[in-house]
Structure 1
Amino acid sequence: MPLVVVGISVLVLLLLMTKLKVNGFVALLFVSVAVALVQGIPMAEIPDVLSKGIGGQLGDSVITIGLGAMIGRVMGDSGAAQRIADSLVDAFGERWVQLAMVVTSMIIGVTMFYEVAFVIIVPVAFTLVRRTGSRLLWIGLPMSIALSTMHSFLPPHPGPTAVVGTFHASVGKTLAIGLLFTIPFAALIALVWPRLPFVRRMDPPIPQGLVSDRRFTEEEMPGLGWALSVALVPVVLIAGGAVYEMCVPDDDPALPFVTFIGSAPIALLLTLFLAGWAFGPRLGRTLQEVASSCVAAAQAMSMILLVIGAGGAFKQVLTDGGVSDYIKDTTSSWDISPLILAWLIAVILRVALGSATVAVVTAAGVAHPLAAGSGVSPELMVLAVSCGSIAFSHVNDPGFWMFKEYFNLSVLDAIKARTTYTTALAVLGLGGVLALNAAGL
């Protein structure tokens, strides 16, 4: 019954948004309330459940997305994003601009969360679209695919890291093994998917307000060194903090400070201050002009953040309504390979709840007793769970709405593009895990 409710709720949501053209934020809240009532959540508790879901989602996202959008707009309005885009085209050539985005996204995405890396790189992607005259998804989709793969498959990202302890696996070994198939699979899907006929038919425009429309002259743009330095500051801070935390004991005296400046909100806040000076007064622009760029970014992000928050409410209603417990109880007695079981449970939970973190944690808890006596590598168990958690991203996944809004897609087109590529990555990931297991790793 819970899975039937999930299926019907998704269909109703699609009907509201595609046929009736209801705003995404309103539609998600309406369906969330309806599902809460059907699942037996007391009416008096429903507002709190919605608030918990929205608050939890925006608590994780609003600072990251908001600051990232402001940094991107400041860089765009100063010509820094164009400088990076022009340099990528000069280095790779227009023919290989997709490869440039894949390489850039993989390097940045290994340690940075999907949302953080996305909002840092997407202004460059928008600028590349304008510079080359390419379609938005031709350049943006490879970027998103590469970031999704890094984020979902590998530690130190939240999903894989959350279950490393469950299976008593090594973070470093999990990362090393995962890279063996993550890089080729991400590159394959990233370069193939924009060429598929159903994707090529999509031609959305760049959303208004997220990037400057101005074309800068060579003299007006800041130097490449400054542009890259500012863009890479959050990468260095966040990645450095993650590596330092893995390499030192818990009582290291510098750990609290490194963890502080390596957290995404602080790293992005420091970067915004640096960008405001480097691409403001240093170039002769006033602080008022920099502030105007930040305001423009915030205005453009308002509806995106509302929709992402409502997606969190939908996810919370499904979780509190007992869907995850139902799936856990149903699958706990299945007698199949621990690797396949862990992957399959993560897929089912991902489809039902939309939360990759809930999917990996629950799947790991169910599969752990079987894995303990099977001789399967704990690192491969972590990767199997992580691969499953990326599958079938759709309307109950807040990341789906971020993808949809930034790439200006309809709900159906976002499903065609994102749901299919995440599922292909999950299936390839399972194949990679099974192949490594067969090879004795």
Structure 2
Amino acid sequence: MPILITFIAVLALLGLIIGLKWHPFIALVLVAIGAGLALGMGPEGTMTAVGNGVGGTLGGLAIILGLGAVLGGVVAETGAAKVITDKLVAGREGMSILWGLCLVGFLIGIPLFYTVAFVMMAPIIISAAEKAKLPLAMVAVATVVSLSVTHGFLPPHPAPMLISNTYGADIGKVLMYGLILGVPSVILAGPLLARTMRNMPHTKGALTFKETDLPDKLPSFGAAVFCALLPVLLLAAGTLVQGLVGGAEEVEVGSEAIRQGFFTDLVQSGLLTDATIALLIGVLVAMFVLGGQSGTPVAKLMGRVGKQLAPMAAVLLIIAAGGAFKQVLVDSGTSDYIVQVLEGFNANPILIAWMIAAALRVTLGSATVAAITAAGIALPLAQSGAASPELLVLATGAGSLTLSHVNDTGFWLFKEYFGLTVPQTLRSWTMMETVVSLVGLFGCLGLSYVV
């Protein structure tokens, strides 16, 4: 019965979002309440679960997403993103331009949220395709794949951050494993897959773009890359230091044990691997360094923070509503029941998490909504200790990327920006997303034998 109710709830969510064109926030709240009542939680229990789900999901995540949006804004508005692009694409011609744009996408995709990075990269992709005389779909796939991988695999992007919080995974390890999986995913689903599209029709971008106002003086390439990647570097370094120290609290000297002091306390506190701290440092360093080099006062950059945060409101509300639905499934015992049934198939927990997310992605369209919902259903897998929670995060993220089609806004964004037909978009965008998802799945399965 719980599986049937959950299935009906997902169908209702699908019907509201796709069929009736309701906003995901409203649809998720309504379905969460309806599912709680249908599962016998009663009005009070249902609303308690909804409230706890919203609060528990946002928590520190709201700060992380906000800081991420600000960092992306600083990187874009000071011209750092343009500097990175110009440096890595300059002098490249023909097929070699695919690799340069792929690297640009990866560097820009880390600090910028997907839609912002996509809109920023679109005119560059169109211009590069014309210059290299290559099919636009081919160049787009080689570039956009990096944005998709960073969006699905790497903190501090919304889906991996949210799933990590749900599963109780170590953010630093998720980032490191995500980078390990991300590199082959980008290569296979990007430049290599793009080569198979050499014979696709040459299209023109259907939209007209306006260049963002940039300062007259741009920052250096080194400063631009350093500031864009600083939060990632801090998280990776913190995780590495924690691994080296091994959490040891004492060192034996003769017969007397002495404290290692401030450094050990700092490592054990988890401060070095806290995403909020890493992003806060990244934002401040970027404002002073990039602002200083571009001649943009910090006060002026601070004045733009509100504008940069505004688009995050809708994202946070959708995530909050998704958290409410997740909590209803958890508090009602439905997620435990579903996982117990799935475990009866003797499948690998990583494969189960991927399948749940993939099924939701195909039906719901939104990768973020699919990831949020799948995390609530698959939570007992992480709690059971049957698999690394970090790998479960990545498997869920990979599943949420698979087989994007006509119910996904990303599908239409790609189609319209690059002037493609629906079959051409399926041949390029959908194929790219599915290859990323499968590489992520098999990568997680492979890593499960060594971590």
In the alignment, residue 30 of structure 1 is paired with which amino acid? Answer: L
CA contact (8 A) 1:142 1:194 kept: no
Please list, as runs of the form range in 1=range in 2, the aligned pairs for 1:121-140 lying within 5 A after superposition: 126-133=119-126, 138=141, 139-140=143-144
Could you tell me how far apart the structure 1 residues matched to 2:411 and 2:114 are?
16
Task: State the match for 1:187 in structure 2.
Answer: 187
Cα distance in 2, alignment partners of residues 360 and 256 from structure 1? 34
- Shifted more, 131-140 versus 54-63: the winner is 131-140
* Aligned CA distance change for structure 1 residues 150 and 103 (closer, same or farther; 3 Å): farther
Matched, 1:257 2:254: no
Query: Does structure 1 conserve the Cα–Cα contact (< 8 Å) formed by 2:167 and 2:393?
Result: no
Q: Using the TM superposition, give the Cα deviation of residue 12 of structure 1 relative to its aligned residue in structure 2, in angstroms.
A: 1.8
Aligned with residue 282 of structure 2, among 271, 285, 292:
271
- 2:291/2:298 contact within 8 Å kept: yes
TM-score by length of 1: 0.68
Distance (Å, rounded) in 2 between the aligned partners of 1:97 and 1:319: 48
The CA deviation at 1:382 is 8.1
1:371 — aligned with what? none
Compute the displacement of 1:225 (Å): 2.1
Seen in structure 2, the aligned counterparts of structure 1 residues 421 and 436 have a Cα distance that, compared at 3 Å, is: same
Superposed displacement of residue 291, structure 1: 1.9
Of all paired residues, the percent bearing the same amino acid is: 24
Q: Distance in 2 between matches of 1:224 and 1:426?
A: 32
Change (3 A) 1:285 1:145: closer
**1:20, distance to aligned residue in structure 2 (A):** 2.6
CA distance in 1, matches of 2:89, 2:380: 44
Query: Is residue 80 of structure 1 aligned with residue 113 of structure 2?
Result: no
Checking the alignment, whether the CA contact within 8 Å between 2:231 and 2:282 is kept in structure 1 is yes
- The answer for the alignment partner of 2:253 in structure 1 is none
For this pair of structures, how many residues does the alignment match?
Answer: 392
Report the equivalent of 2:6: 6
Against the structure 1 CA distance between its residues 430 and 321, is the aligned structure 2 distance closer, same or farther, given a 3 Å change threshold? same
CA separation of 1:76 and 1:185: change in aligned 2, threshold 3 A: closer
Shift in alpha-carbon separation, 1:148–1:97, aligned structure 2, 3 A:
farther
Contact 1:388 1:430 in 2 (8 A): yes
Note closer, same or farther for the CA distance 1:18–1:190 as it changes in structure 2 (3 Å cut).
Answer: same
- The alignment partner of 1:389 has SS state of helix
Give the deviation of 1:224 after TM superposition: 1.4
1:302-356 Cα shifts (integer Å, max 9, x gaps): 112211221222222222222221123324444x5xxx44344334554578456
**Cα 1:129–1:78, aligned 2, differ >3 Å: closer, same or farther?**
same
1:93: how far off? 5.3
Mean alpha-carbon deviation: is it higher for 240-249 or for 307-316?
A: 307-316
d(CA) in 1 for partners of 2:77, 2:234: 24
Cα distance change of structure 1 residues 386 and 297 upon mapping to structure 2, 3 Å threshold:
closer
Q: How much does 1:40 deviate?
A: 1.5
* Candidates 192, 214, 226, aligned match of 2:212: 214
For the residues of structure 1 that align with 2:434 and 2:332, how far apart are their CA atoms?
25
8 Å contact 2:167–2:379 — kept in the other structure?
no
Q: Could you tell me whether the CA contact under 8 Å between 1:347 and 1:389 is conserved in 2? A: yes
1:232: Cα distance to partner? 2.3
In structure 2, the residue matched to 1:237 is: 234
Quick one: which of 339, 342, 349 aligns to 1:342? 349
RMSD: 5.0
Specify the SS of the correspondent of 2:246: coil
Per the alignment, residue 393 of structure 1 pairs with: 400
- Where structure 2 has 5 or more consecutive residues not aligned to the other structure, the ranges are 128-135, 250-259, 361-369, 417-421
| Separation (CA, whole Å) in 2 of partners of 1:189 and 1:405 | 19
Task: Find 1:224's aligned residue among 210, 221, 227.
Answer: 221
**Structure 2 length as normaliser, TM-score?**
0.67
Counterpart check, 1:294 vs 2:292: no
Query: Which amino acid in structure 2 is aligned with residue 143 of structure 1?
Result: L
Which consecutive residues of structure 1, in runs of 5 or more, have no partner in the other structure? 110-116, 165-170, 369-377
Q: 1:304 and 2:315 equivalent? A: yes
Structure 2 residue aligned with 1:248: 245
CA distance, structure 2, for counterparts of residue 403 and residue 420 of structure 1: 13
SS of aligned partner of 2:304: helix
Residue number in structure 1 paired with 2:331: 320
Matches of 2:92 and 2:22, distance apart in 1: 43
Q: 1:254, 1:401 → 2: CA distance?
A: 47
C-alpha distance in structure 2 between counterparts of 1:406 and 1:242, whole Å: 36
**Distance in structure 2 (CA, Å) of the matches to 1:392 and 1:182:** 14
**CA–CA distance in 1 between the matches of 2:71 and 2:448?**
43
Distance of 1:205 and 1:48 partners within structure 2: 46
Partner SS state of residue 254, structure 1: helix
Q: In 1, distance between residues paired with 2:94 and 2:148?
A: 19
Q: Residues 152 and 401 of structure 2 are in contact (CA less than 8 Å); yes or no, is this contact kept in structure 1?
A: no
> For residue 113 of structure 1, what is the aligned residue in structure 2?
none
When residues 405 and 239 of structure 1 are mapped into structure 2, their CA distance, relative to the original with a 3 A threshold, is farther
* Cα pair 1:146 1:190 within 8 Å, conserved: no
Instruction: Note if contact 1:76-1:123 (Cα within 8 Å) is conserved in structure 2.
Output: no
Q: Following superposition of structure 1 onto structure 2, how do residues 333-412 of structure 1 map, counting pairs within 5 Å?
A: 333-334=344-345, 336=346, 340-347=347-354, 349-350=356-357, 354-355=371-372, 362-363=380-381, 368=386, 388-390=395-397, 392-393=399-400
Tell me whether 219-228 or 350-359 shows the greater mean CA deviation.
350-359
1:82-101 counterparts in 2 under 5 A? 82-90=82-90, 95-96=95-96, 99-100=99-100
| 1:275 CA displacement | 1.9
